[in-house]
Amino acid sequence: MPGKKTPRSVQSSPQGFRGKGGETHQTAGGDVPVLTTQQGSPVSDDQNSLRIGARGPALLEDAHFREKIFHFDHERIPERVVHARGFAAHGFFETYEPLTDITRADIFARKGERTPAFVRFSTVAGNKGSPDLARDVRGFAVKLYTQEGNWDIVGNNIPVFFIQDPIKFPDLIHAAKEEPDRGFPQAATAHDNFWDFVSLTPESTHMLMWAMSDRAIPRSLRFMEGFGVHTFRLVNAEGRATFVKFHWKPKGGMQSVVWNEAVKLNGADADFHRRDMWAAIQSGDFPEWELGLQLFDEEFAKTFAFDVLDPTKLIPEEQVPIRRVGRLVLDRVVDNFFAETEQVAFMTQNIVPGVDFTNDPLLQGRNFSYLDTQLKRLGGPNFVHLPINAPKCPFAHFQQDGHMAFHNPKGRANYEPNSWGGAAGGPRESPKHGFVTHPVEESGAKLRARPERFADHYSQARQFYISQTPVEQGHIRDAFAFELGKVETLAIRLRVVSHLLNVDGALAAAVAEKLGIAKLPAAAEPARPIRTDLPPSSALSILLNPPPNFGGRKVGALVTDGTDAALLTALRSVLEAEGATLELVAPSIAGIVASDGNTIAAHHALVAAPSVLFDAVAILPSTDGAALLATMPAARDFLADAVAHCKFIGHVEAAGTLFAKIGVPTDDGGFVPLRGAADATGFVVRCRAMRFWDREADLPPPRPTSAGPTKPHKKQA
Ligand code: HDE
C-alpha cells in the first residue's frame, strides 16, 4: 500500500522466529509474525520472483529469491553411512541405588537422581528413507547428559557383532548395502554380496543366527532389548576396575512380528516404528527400559570359555546374572527432527570418569570412527556446540574458532599454562576430579593377528539356536531360506549351508531342503573344535520371556453399522485398564452408526488399515455388516493376514458368515467368541500371549544333528 510503513519483525531467539517485541500482522488466523529474510529484512511478496515485466527475464538482484534457493539447495547434510534411518526421543535415566563400590561415575552416585537422556534407534543398512521393518539389526544409541560430561552407550539390539576386527567394517557394510553397480537392493541383506562376504567370514555365523531370528524384525522399538556389545570397565574411586557388559531390558517385554507381516507392514506403513514410538510418547505411555549390568572380574574372564574382548561372543545371563541399576524413560518427542535426531552425534569415545574401555579391537576401532564421521556429516569441529550434542553440565576448555563457533570464550587466556591467575587464567586440569585411564599393563610385539581364543565361530551360534523355542527355530530356518532364496549364485548358498552344518544339522538340512539342495555340502572346516556342551540359555529367546501383559499393544476392531455398542464400550474399557488401545476400522473413514444409534468415528478406513497394524483383531460386524464385509477384498485380506500371522481374533457370532465366505477355519484356540460385553475381559487375557503360535503347524520334527544332539526347548503351551 503506497505510503504505508512496512511492518518490522524481529527474528531473534534461536527457539523461534517471533522475537520479543516482534511486529505481527492481523490475519483470519490471529497474529502471525512478518516473514523476513535470514538477515531480518521484511518480505513483501513471497509468491513471485523479481522480473522485468511479467513475462520478462529474472533479475539477479532478487536477494530474497537467491537466499531462499541457496538455503534450500544446502538443506541436506550427508546421511549416516550406516544407521541412516533413525528415530529418537528425549527422556531421563533414574539411578536405583548408589553404585559407588563399583564405579565413581557421577550418574551412579545418588539414589533416585535423574539424568537427561537422548536415545536414537535405527536400522543399519537402509538409506534414510528406507522402511522401518527391514530385516536388520537395530541401533540403540543412548546419550546420557551426566554431571561429569556426556556418556554415550552406542549399542545395538543384538549383543554380538558380525566381525572381530574394525578393519573389516567397510567390507561388511559395503557388502550389506545396495550393490554398487545397480544401486539395489536397499535395506535388505537378501542378496549375493552380503551372503558372499559373510559366508567367507565364519566369525559372522553367531551374529547371522541373531539377524535371521525374530530379533531383526521387532514389533516396536519399545519392545526390544539393547546391548552395549563390548566389554567395558567400571572403575571406582579407589581405582578398582570391574568388567561390565551393558544391557537395556524393555519394561514392556520383547515382541517381534513375523516376516510375512514385516513385508506387508513396509507397504502399509513404512514409518511403522517411528509412528508407534511417537504415538506412545504423545499419549503418555512412556517407553521404559532398565539398565542391567553384567559385572565380572579378571578371574571370571580367564575361566570363561571365550575371550571377553571378542565382540562375536556374549556371556550368558545364567553365567553372569544381570543386576538392574536404573531405568531409562523416554517421555518427550523432539521439537525438530533435523536439529535433534539428524544432528545428534553419538560417539563411543564419549565416556566419563568411572567408565573405561577395554582392548576389544572393535571398540578401539569405533573410538576412531565416530569422531571422524561427525566431521564429515556435521561439517566442522564445532558439532558439540549444537544444543543436542552440548553437555548439560558446566564445561570449559581452550578449543576455539572453526566453522560455526557458537561458544566463544571471553578474555585473554586461550592457552595454558598461563600466568594470568584466577578466573582470568581460565580452566585448569584436575588430577582429583578428572578422568583417569585405568592403568592397565600392556606389552607385546607389534603384529597383525587375532587371539587364538577368538577362533571358535560356531559354538555360541549353536547355543543361540538351541536356546530358541521350536517356533523361533522355524522362523530362523525360514529367514535363511528366504534370504538365500534371493541369492543367485549357488556356490554362495552352498557355502552358507556348510557353515550351518556346524551350528545345527537339522537347521542346515531344513534350509537346504527349502533351497532345493539335494546333496548337502561338506561342513565348513572349523578352526577350533565346536563345543556341543554349552547349555541352552532361556534369556536368548524372545518367546520364553513373554511381556508382563498386553499393555502398550493395539487391537484393531473391524466394525460396521449396527456393531454392538455395549460390546465396543466394554472392549475399550478392558483394553484401557490393561494399558492397551482399541482402534476402529470401518468400511469408510466416516465411521459407523452403532447398535445404540450413536455415530462413532472410525480411526481407519478398512482399505487403509490392514490387520498388520494391530497386535490382535476383533471382528464385530452386525449381520448386515458381515454381508457387506464379505464383498470387500480388504476385509478378506484383513482376516486372512490376522490368521496367517497367528493373531488372536475376537469375534461376534455374525462374523461367522464372513469367515465362511472367506473360507477361514475358526476352530483353533486363537479365535475367541465375543458373545457380549462380559467376554471382553477373557479376550484381552488371551491376547496377553501376543500370538497363537499353535497355528504355525508345520514345525519340522527334530532330526539328528551333525554337530551333536540338539535339545530344543519344549514347545510352549
Ligand atoms: Fe557403528 N557406526 N560402527 N556400530 N553404530 C556409526 O557413526 C562403526 C558398531 C552403531 O544413532 C557411524 O555417527 C565402526 C557396533 C549405532 O547416530 C560410524 C564399527 C555397534 C550407530 C560407525 C561399528 C554399532 C552407529 C555412522 C566397527 C553396536 C548409530 C554414523 C568397528 C555396539 C548412532 C555415525 C546414531 C553409527 C562406525 C560397529 C552401533 C561410521 C567402524 C559393534 C547404534 O562412525
Domains of the chain, by residue range, sit at 1-75, 86-385, 396-430, 554-689
Q: How many CB atoms are closer than 10 A to CB 298?
A: 11
- Indicate the top mutation candidate among 77, 79, 80 to test ligand 1's pocket, ranked by most ligand atoms within 8 A of CB: 80
Residue of minimum CA distance from atom 38 in ligand 1 = 366
Residue 702 CA, chain-centre distance (Å), reads 33
Active site annotation includes 156: yes
* Helix axes of 259-268 and 633-644: crossing angle, nearest 10 degrees: 140
Q: How far apart are CA 584 and CA 559, in angstroms?
A: 7
Residue with C-alpha cell 527422556? Answer: 91
Residue 14's pLDDT is: 38
Residue of minimum CA distance from atom 28 in ligand 1 = 155
Active site annotation includes 83: yes
Residue of minimum CA distance from atom 29 in ligand 1 = 83
- Indicate the top mutation candidate among 79, 221, 346, 348 to test ligand 1's pocket, ranked by most ligand atoms within 8 A of CB: 346
Residue 582 CA, chain-centre distance (Å), reads 25
Q: And the C-alpha cell for 312?
A: 562375536
Q: How far apart are CA 341 and CA 88, in angstroms?
A: 6
Residue of minimum CA distance from atom 23 in ligand 1 = 366
Residue 666's pLDDT is: 79
Q: Which atom of ligand 1 is nearest to the CA of 229?
A: 32
Residue 664's pLDDT is: 80
Q: Which atom of ligand 1 is nearest to the CA of 170?
A: 41
DSSP 452: G
Q: pLDDT tens for residues 516-555?
A: 999 999 999 999 999 999 999 999 999 999 999 999 999 9
Nearest to 49 by CA among 67, 34, 33, 35: 67
Residue 409's pLDDT is: 86
Contacts for 333-341: CB closer than 8 Å, 24+ residues apart: 333/89, 333/90, 333/278, 333/281, 333/282, 334/88, 334/89, 334/90, 339/386, 339/387, 339/388, 340/88, 340/90, 340/118, 340/388, 341/86, 341/87, 341/88, 341/120
In the predicted model, residues of the chain with pLDDT beneath 70 are: 1-30, 698-717
Assign a CATH topology to domain 554-689: Rossmann fold (3.40.50)
The alpha carbon of 350 and the centre of ligand 1 are apart by a number of angstroms equal to: 13
Of the candidate CATH numbers 3.30.70.260, 2.40.50.140, 2.40.180.10, 3.40.50.150, the domain formed by 86-385 belongs to 2.40.180.10
Residue of minimum CA distance from atom 6 in ligand 1 = 82
- For residue 125 and ligand 1, the question of a CB distance below 6 A is answered with no
On whether the CB atoms of residues 499 and 199 are closer than 8 A, the answer is yes
Q: How many CB atoms are closer than 10 A to CB 435?
A: 14
Residue 57's pLDDT is: 96
The alpha carbon of 500 and the centre of ligand 1 are apart by a number of angstroms equal to: 28
Of the candidate CATH numbers 4.10.91.20, 3.30.70.60, 3.40.50.300, 3.90.25.10, the domain formed by 1-75 belongs to 4.10.91.20
Q: How far apart are CA 334 and CA 151, in angstroms?
A: 20
- For residue 83 and ligand 1, the question of a CB distance below 6 A is answered with yes
Residue of minimum CA distance from atom 44 in ligand 1 = 370
Residue 21's pLDDT is: 43
The alpha carbon of 366 and the centre of ligand 1 are apart by a number of angstroms equal to: 7
Q: And the C-alpha cell for 693?
A: 503360535
Q: Strand, helix or coil at 12?
A: coil
Beta-bridge partner residues of 582: 555
User: Among residues 64, 90, 150, 156, which one is catalytic?
Assistant: 156
- For residue 154 and ligand 1, the question of a CB distance below 6 A is answered with yes
